[in-house]
Structure 1
């Protein structure tokens, strides 16, 4: 019994001293906190005012660093690193004369500008041809983001279920052939059909028919008109890209078509190898 009483008396003495550890940790954390706050609050007032004044001048001037406007300066008027701009007589680190950092357009930009001029002339010429020959119900011309699109109705080009070109199609294809020589661009030829299944004949489905019709137009340009084969590409899409309602005769007629697109893509891009 006496041993148990001594153990109970010793226990409170050990527990009484543990608060010192917590107190010491608290003081350490408070010291660290005040050291950090002091470090953050200590700034170079003179440098701060220089940078602030330079930034205010830049924003009020309405120009920016990339355009050669006012630069951020240091305390003695020297430019701070990274604020060189595009001063005359010098270039930024890693930049060569004639790069896109200058105001001079690159050779590629000039090529695209010239292509846009050519496409504009092409569009005006083909629209005038369609209007002068009363072909508005058979040939549809549109300026789309991907390029100048010429949509030819299958009635104008082919007999039903066939991919051999009609003789009456030569006029517009010859005119297009002449115009293609004035444009430095890739040309895409796409065949499309309605959703009616093919029964009998040479073709087993609309995939074969649409692809063969696009190929017939391409071969006319290449084999008959002797245009550069590298300028062309073709594809058949069957009935997967309708522009009309396949539940009506008029809609199906719109879907049976060949689309020729003079792409906004330099011909050199399609022939270059990695």
Structure 2
């Protein structure tokens, strides 16, 4: 409103012309939709390329038959909005209950893996074909690499034990066993030589020599280690502040500390467990010295 002149009120109106054509905002909305769609598409490609087998299996099952959500509900739960989960137990990686069952998904045979890859290809169309082919290639490569790696570790341990007379004398105290979860290396007590001082977690010189041999064999890989301590069935004296559970756990941890001091990366140790006398090597001879042992599992799972 302008100021008064001669007692009159002067009102000044300014009408600006509108902007149209390429100066409008409609194209911005269309462009934003296009960028969002492209981001979603590349995010999908990235997720397919980085998702593990368990999650791909769950996705393939769900998108192949999404109407069967009831099969994904935990027992005793209601509908999807009543607290149930859309994820199958195999879709969620659960912590392992045993150091000898460390793979994030149950072991699969070649036929099961092939069926999983086929279902991924069917569920995701052309993109799924490439992902499925990569899955098959990765599984075959992983299996071959793990087998070759374990063979190399076995050969190195055997060669090291035969390289000198003092180590050759300890050869019967090392047992290497291939399992479905990895390579288990056990250091056993014998009547003549023990891995630890009686009733303690103090490593003997012989045990340290054998740990050096084991570390030299596994140092080049990335596989994680699970360390278990075992005792025989002889009980501690009445009134003792310790027992076989504590002793086995202390010995397993002493083994871990010794390996780390020998420059094993701490991150490669997955777990340290004391088993007392619950898993004897010779069940019919519960007090045999070889039941007292340290078990080091070189797992197929690499360190993260």
In structure 2, the partner of 1:8 is none
Q: Against the structure 1 CA distance between its residues 102 and 214, is the aligned structure 2 distance closer, same or farther, given a 3 Å change threshold?
A: closer
Q: Against the structure 1 CA distance between its residues 192 and 112, is the aligned structure 2 distance closer, same or farther, given a 3 Å change threshold?
A: same
Decide which of 129, 146, 152 is 2:187's aligned counterpart. Answer: 152
Q: Against the structure 1 CA distance between its residues 137 and 202, is the aligned structure 2 distance closer, same or farther, given a 3 Å change threshold?
A: farther
1:254 matched to 2:294? The reply is no
Q: TM-score, normalised by structure 2?
A: 0.51
Decide which of 110, 124, 128 is 2:159's aligned counterpart. Answer: 128
Unpaired runs of 5+ in structure 1? 1-66, 68-85, 87-91, 269-274
Name the CA distance, whole Å, in 1 between partners of 2:219 and 2:132: 31
CA displacement 1:216-272 (0-9 Å, x = unmatched)? 0000111x11221111121000011112146565xx21211111111122223xxxx
Is the contact made by 1:243 and 1:254 (CA closer than 8 Å) also made in structure 2?
A: yes
Name the CA distance, whole Å, in 2 between partners of 1:261 and 1:197: 27
- Count of residues paired in the alignment: 176
In structure 2, the partner of 1:95 is 127
Name the CA distance, whole Å, in 2 between partners of 1:102 and 1:152: 40
Report runs of 4+ in structure 1 exceeding 6 Å deviation: none
In structure 2, the partner of 1:207 is 245
Name the CA distance, whole Å, in 2 between partners of 1:210 and 1:192: 5
1:229 matched to 2:260? The reply is no
Unpaired runs of 5+ in structure 2? 1-113, 115-120
1:239 matched to 2:271? The reply is no
CA displacement 1:126-148 (0-9 Å, x = unmatched)? 12333452323211112222211
Structure index of larger Rg: 1
